Amino acid sequence: MAINRAQLVKELEPGLNALFGLEYSKYQDEWKGIFDTESSDRAFEEEVMLSGFGNAATKAEGAGFAYDTAQEVYTSRYNHETIALGFALTEEAMEDNLYDKLSSRYTKALARSMSHTKNVKGADVLNNAFNSSYAGGDGTELIGTHTLLNGSTIANEPSVAADLNETSLEAALIDISKFTDERGLKIAVKGQSLCVPSDLIFVAERVLGSSGRVATADNDLNAIKSTGVLPGGATVNHYLTDTDAWFIRTDAPNGLKHFNRVGMKTGMEGDFETGNVRYKARERYSFGWSDFRAVYGSPGA
């Protein structure tokens, strides 16, 4: 349905001083601080986790070599979604508008809606990270206890859900340093940055920014700050819905990913019979994860 003059009564009257409601600033693309971006030219993308070999065996003198096998462990699929929105204006509404170009004003609003949706969809990966209904390639939710090929497990969350503080953050970084591959070999994965909702940004700043330990009279230094174990510091994502959940992004490769299938495209066309002008915006992309080791998190106590 086209936007007509009945919906724009005040905009068509002399004496109008200002139009407001579409001038708000918007948050930038905060999903970029969480995901690595790759391009795609397919309907979907798949990434396969491979296992390496186990520990090398000691060979007795004169004995033969021990042989090991490698295999595929699981597959992660990224299904690209099409995101689109449009609006139409009647010819009469465009002719009678006295103050501004309607098309210019509403195309900006269209861009803001598309940006908001992309931020929401990106944040949803973390918003659903503790929900078993959103399982990844290994059959487990992003943040939980994951069973490895060798039968052991890795948890990328604390054994008891904890609020963000100095103690819980230190424990999380220690857990990350103990991650292994699918065969149980230790891997050098390190924390890179802390991601929090807007409710925790001041807590995060105190924990990471204080020279001394937080909320203690002891004259100890802040080990997290002095060792530089989180070089990326803290970032806030305003689209996270759990007010006390927090996440650490690690440097594990092929982890949280955004695939760009078709970049933002905009278009407009007029209808010969009605004179209405239609505007649209469209893009295709997907968000997801391949390796759960790319993130550690807690839903808060």
Residue 218's pLDDT is 72
Residue 17 has pLDDT above 80, yes or no: no
170 in any annotated domain: yes
Residue 286's pLDDT is 98
Q: Which domain holds residue 102?
A: 32-52+72-188+249-298
277 in any annotated domain: yes
Give how far Cα 301 sits from Cα of 123, 200, 242, Å. Answer: 21, 13, 11
- Mean pLDDT, rounded, of the chain: 88
Residue that wins the pLDDT comparison between 94 and 184? 184
229 in any annotated domain: no
Residue 298 has pLDDT above 50, yes or no: yes
- Residue 272: pLDDT band (50, 70, 90) is confident
Torsion region of 233: left, alpha or beta (phi above 0 gives left; psi -120 to 50 gives alpha) = left
Residue 103's pLDDT is 67
111 in any annotated domain: yes
Report the C-alpha gap between 71 and 149 in whole angstroms.
10
CA dihedral 81, 136, 160, 119 (to 10 degrees): -20
21 in any annotated domain: no
pTM of this prediction exceeds 0.95: no
Residue that wins the pLDDT comparison between 11 and 217? 217
212 in any annotated domain: no
Give how far Cα 87 sits from Cα of 24, 116, 207, 273, Å. Answer: 20, 17, 46, 17
Region 39-60: mean pLDDT is: 93
Task: Give the model confidence (pLDDT) of 111-161 as tens digits.
Answer: 889 999 999 999 999 999 999 999 999 999 999 999 999 999 999 999 999
Spell 245-281 as b/e; 16+ CB within 10 A means b. Answer: bbbbbbbbeebbbbbebeeeeeeeeeeeeeebbebbb
- Residue 18: pLDDT band (50, 70, 90) is very low
Total count of domains within the chain: 1
Query: Contact at 8 Å (CB) between 25 and 248?
Result: no
Burial label for 13, CB within 10 Å (0-12, 13-18, 19+), is exposed
Task: Give the model confidence (pLDDT) of 175-216 as tens digits.
Answer: 999 999 999 999 999 999 999 999 999 999 999 988 878 767
When mean pLDDT is compared across 7-21, 106-120, 217-231, 258-272, the lowest value belongs to 7-21
